[in-house]
Amino acid sequence: MDSYWPEFLTVALIHWLAVASPGPDFAVMIRQALFRSRKNALITSAGIAAGILVHVTYSLLGIGLLIQQSILLFTILKIAGALYLTWIAVQCLQARAGGIHVAAGPVSLQSSAAALRLGFLTNVLNPKATLFFVSLFSVVISPGTPVAIQAAYGIYMALATGVWFTLVAIFFTLPAVRNGFNRFGHWLDRLMGGILLLLAGQLLFSTVSGAELPSGSSTGKGL
């Protein structure tokens, strides 16, 4: 077991750099934390962590390599991800001045199921996350590493992701932090919408132009 520590530390470092960098998950989490309840934000973080397990599972089963090598399947994934991000972005861009009171709590009611689904689908439909995990399990992690050890790596990454976004949720739901965003909450919501729209546009552009086609070498970022 001791011989796998260097590999684990490499996996942990790469995963940390990926999960902490800006991306759809981070943008959605900030919006949830500022404009929904803390409970909703925490449930969304759990949804993102559950999405990580999906990526890990198909990577272990070899399905990820099939997706990576199939231009059609990967294109479908990118289009689905772009459409989902666009749907979220449109909701953000509809924010009106005076319509959001950050300090007062959630802008509207959101069920636990909706919060969980938001985090889960945002992560699962992120093609960059697909590239990241497939590359991680095919390039960084040795083929000789036992499946049980690889699964342990995956469980660690899911837990670490959940902990990271839990901390994000707790921080941005602090009353002092929410009060700081109270005056321009609708502008922040629109900004989050703009960022998500740009990410969606990037996915669609790469689909049309043929950029970022599966190659097996990408490490991905912004989970």
Distance CA 213, CA 218 (A): 10
Q: Report pTM.
A: 0.74
217: burial class by Cβ within 10 Å (0-12, 13-18, 19+)? exposed
User: Does residue 218 or residue 206 have the better pLDDT?
Assistant: 206
Q: How distant is the alpha carbon of residue 31 from its chain centre?
A: 13
Distance CA 73, CA 215 (A): 14
93: burial class by Cβ within 10 Å (0-12, 13-18, 19+)? middle
Counts of helices then strands in the chain (DSSP H, E): 10, 0
110 residue type, one letter: Q
Q: What is the mean pLDDT of residues 182-202?
A: 68
Which stretches of 21-126 are DSSP H helices? 24-35, 38-61, 63-69, 71-93, 112-124
Q: Where are the domains of the chain?
A: 14-209
Query: Cβ atoms within 10 A of the Cβ of 142, count?
Result: 10
Distance CA 99, CA 191 (A): 15
- Residue 114 and residue 105 in contact, taking contact as beta carbons nearer than 8 Å: no
Q: What is the mean pLDDT of residues 19-35?
A: 86
Residues of the chain with pLDDT > 90: what percent? 31
Distance CA 136, CA 132 (A): 6
Distance CA 147, CA 170 (A): 34
The DSSP 8-state label assigned to residue 63 in this structure reads H
Q: What is the mean pLDDT of residues 134-139?
A: 81
| 38-68 confidence digits (pLDDT tens) | 999 999 999 999 999 999 998 888 776 666 6
Distance CA 203, CA 78 (A): 6
| 68-105 confidence digits (pLDDT tens) | 667 777 677 778 767 877 877 776 676 555 444 454 44
